[in-house]
Amino acid sequence: MSHPEVQLNHANYAVPAEASKWQTTYLGIGVFAALVCVAGFVMESQREQVMRGYLIGFMLWLGLSLGCLALLMVQHLSGGLWGLSIRRILEAATRGLPLMLVLFVPLVLGRNYLYAWMTDPSLTEHNSWYLNMPFWWLRQVIYFGVWLGLMFVLNKRSALQDEPGNYPRFQLISGIGILLYALTISFAAVDWVMSLDPHWGSTIYGMIFMAGEGLSALAFSIIVLTWLTGYNPMREIIKPEQFHDIAKLMLAFVMLFAYFSFSQWLIIWAGNLPDEISWFLNRIHGGWGVVALAIILFHFALPFALLLSRNLKRDGRKLIGLAVLLMFMRLVDIYWYVVPNFAHARGHFYFSIWYLVAPIALGGLWLGFFFYNLRQRPILPVYEPQMPSLLHQGSGHGH
């Protein structure tokens, strides 16, 4: 059945004006919290804790940009109206990567407060071929070069599609990009988090971060899409089917994250090697077990149970609470991965206020930049060939 002719106009698909207010609000929060972090770093007694909090925040917000980049490429490869409805959200989030490159500079400058192997060569006696500074610098260039290159090409082609008569192809770059993303984030997770303990290693480590990034990207997309459906034209266009499809994908990522995490635990526990099993012992003793239990309950068990409900999956207003919980638990999970690597926190629960302030600082800056980027383009790709299907949908699936 053919669709009636649709008059597509960029002006009809503008981002709500309230986005400008959100941009200013979040930017203000980010700048204020960043100044607090600078003040904390000036105090020598707080310097290490500030840098650890900064690393936690950096991994959270960089992971959100990268998760959105991966989902964008998945959408280009698979098609489907679920991705069309959030494509502009994903694209705006990917354009936060240049900001994350700038925010990587403080991490580089304060790296000696985090990575003991950089100042003590004896710690890398058996893996110096990988953990050495020349190779480390080269890898950082490769990571950001790949991510920024993919972001630029995908957004450039999407911008071309906003003009009538242009039909850029996304499949080839997305197929190659997914592979490059998987490789680079796997090594980046090793460099930035796993190498905090240079004696421990896990081959599934990068996959855990990939699943976590995809899950946080889906949760963030639901939050923003729900906000947008409070305004025209999204109020009229977005149907329960779109939320249903995104929530089903979120359920899949909840299970994928749990599967990778449990696999890592099972393999290491079954091997029962002292050098490997100590990593988990440091994260279940002295109060850390409560954090681990919270991750199991609120990062997997509760979301899994709730997402089995068809009614919940079809209602963005009900999903938004779960999405916020999942994003917060992503922060808790990174905190659980990072902090017990340091001697004073191994087997002894430790929390510093900087583990919240620094992520808030980076998050405020990231969200301010996100809303700026979101405002630069129509909220929907109006000349996308599938747009008529979205506007006259009978279901949430493309044909």
* Tens-digit pLDDT profile for residues 158-217: 998 888 777 788 999 999 999 999 999 999 999 999 999 998 989 899 999 999 999 999
Residue 399 lies in a domain: no
pLDDT digits (tens, 9 = 90+) for 246-272: 999 999 999 999 999 999 999 888 888
Quick count: other Cβ atoms within 10 Å of Cβ 350?
16
Per-residue pLDDT of the chain (399 residues; tens, 9 = 90+): 333 334 455 567 889 999 999 999 999 999 999 999 999 999 989 999 999 999 999 999 999 999 999 999 999 998 877 888 999 999 999 999 999 999 999 999 999 999 999 999 888 888 899 999 999 999 999 999 999 999 999 999 999 888 877 778 899 999 999 999 999 999 999 999 999 999 898 989 999 999 999 999 999 999 999 999 999 888 888 889 899 999 999 999 999 999 999 999 998 888 887 778 889 999 999 899 999 999 999 999 999 999 999 999 999 999 999 999 999 999 999 999 999 999 777 889 999 999 999 999 999 999 999 999 999 999 988 777 777 777 776 443 433
Distance CA 76, CA 328 (A): 28
Token pair recorded at residue 333: 């999970």
On whether residue 256 sits in a domain, the answer given is yes
Of the candidates 68, 154, 60, which has an alpha carbon nearest to the alpha carbon of residue 103?
A: 60
> What pTM value is reported for the model?
0.93
In terms of residue numbers, what domain contains 65?
Answer: 10-391
Say which amino acid occupies 263.
S
Between CA 68 and CA 303 the distance in angstroms is 20
Report the alpha-carbon distance of residue 57 to residue 26 in Å, rounded. Answer: 15
Residue 172 lies in a domain: yes
Supply 18's token pair: 């309230």
Q: Where are the alpha helices (DSSP H) in 79-202?
A: 81-94, 97-109, 133-161, 171-192
Give me 92's structure tokens: 């705006």
Calculate the alpha carbon distances from 22 to 361, 365, 373, 374, 390 in Å: 15, 11, 12, 11, 27
Is residue 4 situated within a structural domain? Answer: no
Q: Is residue 50, in this structure, part of any structural domain at all?
A: yes
Does 5 reside within a domain?
no
The candidate with the shortest Cα–Cα distance to 19, out of 234, 184, 200, is: 234
Token code pair at residue 131: 């953990």
Answer whether residue 255 is part of any domain. Answer: yes
- Total domain count for the chain? 1
Cis upstream peptide for 385 (omega within 30°): no
Please tell me the distance from the alpha carbon of residue 85 to that of residue 226, in angstroms, as a whole number.
11
Work out the number of other CB atoms within 10 angstroms of the CB of residue 251.
18
